[in-house]
Structure 1
Amino acid sequence: MAYGESFLSKVIDTNDTGAFLRYDIRAEHFPTEAERKAYRFIKDYADSNGGQAPDYRTVVAECAGFTYMPEVGDSFEYMARKMRNDAGKLRLHSFLTGRDVGDKFTELSTEEFATWLIEQTEQIRSETATRSKVGTDIKRDTVTFLDEYRKRKEGTSFKIWKSKFPTINKEIGGYLSGNVYTWYGRSGRGKSIFTMEEAIEAAAQGANVLVWAMEMSRFEWMARAYSSISARQGAVNANIGGVDYEVGFENRALLNGKLTEEFEQGFEQFLTEINEIIPGTIVVRAVDDIDFSSRRVRDLEADIVATKADVVVIDPYYYMTYEANRSKTTGGDATETSNKIRALAGRYQCVIHGITQAEEVRDDRDDEGNRELRPPTRAELMKSKSFLQDSALTIGIDTLDGIGIIQLNKGRNGGEGVTLEVVYMPNYGLVRELPSGEAAADQFKMPF
């Protein structure tokens, strides 16, 4: 059936040229040149006549080959769906039987060809997909809202994963699934450590955690994680600078294979108990993994699906393979990547922690040249402002001589401007918020 001619005829009969816009019908959705010519004529006529459609006789006279279909009973929605489906099949057939497919198959590797093929077919799919409804009507869709509300009440629709740092939980209620959280600081200040702590905290709550560690080897990440997890258990008593602490196995000793025999036995025993300590899972994709050469958003999506990730850590954003800069603007590749990462969080209802760099500054030293703790501001968010815009919360960090500071810089759900101090001794797995006031002085007498 000629759904294109039927659609055009109904537009004429009902004087409803707005149907083209409502159902996103464009010239490429019509299979014949006569239909495309009639479509363009009706559009041009409406533009010049206050949105009115021309008389059917005028269209037939002006557009040779167009057949007018009187009294069409099918709905616009039904015909639009049929038209877009037919247009999609024609485009797919033309593409798959065209010369480009054979040429690309010959010149590209299997992985590159598969990637290119997916991109091309996805573009055709998106351009011919049917849109029957726009958004949500807040008056008519109340049942949908109540259904989601009840799911949230029961904890089956979304989750909040608590932070390791009590102040963050107090200010924003924890990390809400479907959101992106961006951590940033100047080079070498502990961004990877802080996000690792949050990854472990989520796994301790039962989350499936996926870590893309693009700066750290697998062994190094695991050694740091084992130090942190064992510190939570108070596996080792250590005197540091004259102060006694319950800490974890020393990270440097793990990295160098130099635990004492006693600690080595204790460490092996600790590993046998880790399933009880961490009920969730942590899957690490590290920089030295042989199969970790492709780092695009679609690869991240595949890993999220495979691991059923509730929480994701991207360390850092800028070591991903950025998406194509379709806007041809400065930073457009990072913007496209940031937008797609934000979409992933929503689509799979996971929490995504991402890392980026802050601008280096010269005003973090006192009059004597000693560096002071100074978390970066929003304006110092480096690499791309898109990560600031797409994040529910941006978190600036700084560390110095066993102390760290976390500042909540941009909070969609509150907390903006709040700072908290932490004891920061990652070599012993000890990264913990300092209590405020007198309790802090009594509990943590820092030896520095």
Structure 2
Amino acid sequence: MPVHGEQLLSKTVDVGDISALTKYGITREDFETPGERQAYDFTVKYAQQNAGRAPSYVTLAAECPDITYIPDVSDSFEYLAGELKAAAAKREVLRKINGYTDEDSGRKVPSELAEKFAQLAPADFGKYLRELGESIEGKATVKRDIGASLLTLAGAFKTEYQKRKAGESYTLWKTPFATLNAEIGGLYSGDCYIIMAESGRGKTYLSEVFLDELLRQGAVVLAKSYEVKWYPLISRLISIATARDGAVKADGLGDVGLPNKAMLAGKMDAELESFMLDMVAKINEYYPGELILQAKGDANLTRSLDELDRELHMRPDIDVVIIDPFYGLSDVYGRNANKTAGGAAEMAARRLETIIGAHDVVGIFTIQAQTERQETEEGEHRAVKLPKRDQVKTTKAVLEIATNLFSFDAANGNGALGVEKGRNGGEGFAIELVALMDYGVLRELPKGTEIAGQFASGF
């Protein structure tokens, strides 16, 4: 029978300090017998009272008679720690499967695995098994490094660069705006992008313009729409798609899309209605990508980050997650574990960032900006004004997790999109937009010869 626990404790007292126990993350639960656990507790307590020194073997043997001191152990601490943790992990698996008897109370503890199987739905049981596996893996692992050296990173960098050069390591998706792409490069997998606007100013609409563009590039997009039902969302998407195609020629407006309000009201012009229904029939084939939609009121709409994590495990082919809005997640208003103002929202933002990175998908989330008092003179139209980063509502943590924070505003046919935070550049950058959103139009304001050409054609 292996005696790695006794060997490790014996080697510790021979060396004279307990730093190896700390270095390799050894805990009392890693030891199998009550005698070994008592010896571990005594050794640690002795070191705390004696400037980190371990007790002598004579003292250990006297205080802990239920273990055997083994002199001159030649095996390394790393080897012994690995064997000890591997055995502890196996015991933990057996306890979960078979149950166990509590040593202190003598109470029989039933099988946790059997209880979970009986209590949980299949999907939740699958999540439990994944988490159990990760826990067991963590307990069985001896951490050997706390970081990477330049020597290691140099080789890894070259390999990663070649993968990126070949388009194998990460995916870069384009935004709907060419000038923005030139400024920030695009949307990188594993990163979070935030769209911020004041209430009612079009942040949801902008997220749908991004959705249209990503579907055109072949992305698989999971979209969670907490404030808009499926019909108006698809209505807008059709309007945006047909505007990209220049499907409708409108006097004074140029090439636009199908009117969204007419689709919402069910009062489309007869000629356009036929075109619309044909578009609907072909929309699945129209886009190279795939939309997985969870919309307001749908039975399959989920709200927790646990469920999002599970969905990304279920569909590892998902490329992009769009959440509109961020505060639609139940975790934002959950348990405030760090007991600070806005703590739950802050923790939700940071966990969301972790999930996005772990699954290597693009995350696009909308948030609301603090509304400023409108100051317009009577008879004049409201001017477009981009919100600033200090207007972020709910939690400032969304600002910290964002690779880019996009600010947006639109009014009276005009719009603007700015970059309030740019981790890879672009901060302070802004573009002017044509914003005829009822007709699916949200595009960059044409410049120079483009404007002249449009006026020549009667735009």
Q: Which range, TM-score by smaller chain? A: 0.7 to 0.9
Which segment drifts farther, 198-207 or 103-112?
103-112
Alignment counterpart, residue 263 of structure 1, candidates 272, 277, 283: 272
**One-letter amino acid of the structure 1 residue matched with residue 40 of structure 2:** Y
| % identical equivalent positions | 34
TM-score, normalising length from structure 2? 0.85
Using a 3 Å threshold, how does the CA distance of structure 1 residues 126 and 258 change in structure 2: closer, same or farther?
Answer: farther
Alignment counterpart, residue 342 of structure 1, candidates 353, 357, 363: 353
| 1:345-364 alignment, distance < 5 Å | 345-362=356-373, 364=374
Identify the residue that residue 63 of structure 1 maps to in structure 2: 64
Cα distance in 2 for residues equivalent to 1:147 and 1:106:
43
Alignment counterpart, residue 297 of structure 1, candidates 301, 305, 308: 305
Cα distance in 2 for residues equivalent to 1:444 and 1:134:
63
Q: Residue 73 of structure 2 aligns to a residue in which SS?
A: coil
1:291 to partner: Cα distance: 2.4
Identify the residue that residue 295 of structure 2 maps to in structure 1: 286
- The answer as to 2:375 corresponding to 1:365 is yes
Alignment counterpart, residue 173 of structure 2, candidates 161, 165, 169: 161
Which segment drifts farther, 168-177 or 304-313?
304-313
**One-letter amino acid of the structure 2 residue matched with residue 313 of structure 1:** I
Cα distance in 2 for residues equivalent to 1:157 and 1:402:
40
Using a 3 Å threshold, how does the CA distance of structure 1 residues 330 and 126 change in structure 2: closer, same or farther?
Answer: farther
TM-score, normalising length from structure 1? 0.87
Q: Residue 24 of structure 1 aligns to a residue in which SS?
A: coil
Cα distance in 1 for residues equivalent to 2:402 and 2:322:
14
1:228 to partner: Cα distance: 0.7
Which segment drifts farther, 430-439 or 206-215?
430-439
1:237 to partner: Cα distance: 0.9
- The answer as to 2:324 corresponding to 1:315 is yes
Using a 3 Å threshold, how does the CA distance of structure 1 residues 108 and 305 change in structure 2: closer, same or farther?
Answer: closer
Cα distance in 1 for residues equivalent to 2:444 and 2:17:
63
Q: Is the 8 A contact 1:215 1:315 kept in 2?
A: yes
1:100 to partner: Cα distance: 9.9
1:92 to partner: Cα distance: 5.2
Q: Structure 1: give runs of 5+ residues left out of the alignment.
A: none
| 1:109-188 alignment, distance < 5 Å | 110=121, 114=125, 121=132, 124-125=135-136, 128-130=139-141, 131-188=143-200
Alignment counterpart, residue 385 of structure 1, candidates 386, 396, 406: 396
Using a 3 Å threshold, how does the CA distance of structure 1 residues 440 and 85 change in structure 2: closer, same or farther?
Answer: farther
Q: Per-residue displacement from partner, 1:106-129 (whole Å, max 9, x unpaired)?
A: 997748974995698478547625
Cα distance in 2 for residues equivalent to 1:45 and 1:444:
87
1:152 to partner: Cα distance: 0.6
Identify the residue that residue 332 of structure 1 maps to in structure 2: 343
Cα distance in 2 for residues equivalent to 1:334 and 1:10:
48
- Give the aligned length: 440
Q: Structure 2: give runs of 5+ residues left out of the alignment.
A: 100-108
1:279 to partner: Cα distance: 1.4
1:248 to partner: Cα distance: 1.2
Q: Residue 392 of structure 1 aligns to a residue in which SS?
A: strand
RMSD: 3.2
Q: Residue 215 of structure 2 aligns to a residue in which SS?
A: helix
| 1:86-125 alignment, distance < 5 Å | 86-91=87-92, 94=95, 97=99, 98=109, 110=121, 114=125, 121=132, 124-125=135-136
Which segment drifts farther, 137-146 or 436-445?
436-445
**One-letter amino acid of the structure 1 residue matched with residue 266 of structure 2:** G
Q: Is the 8 A contact 1:91 1:124 kept in 2?
A: no
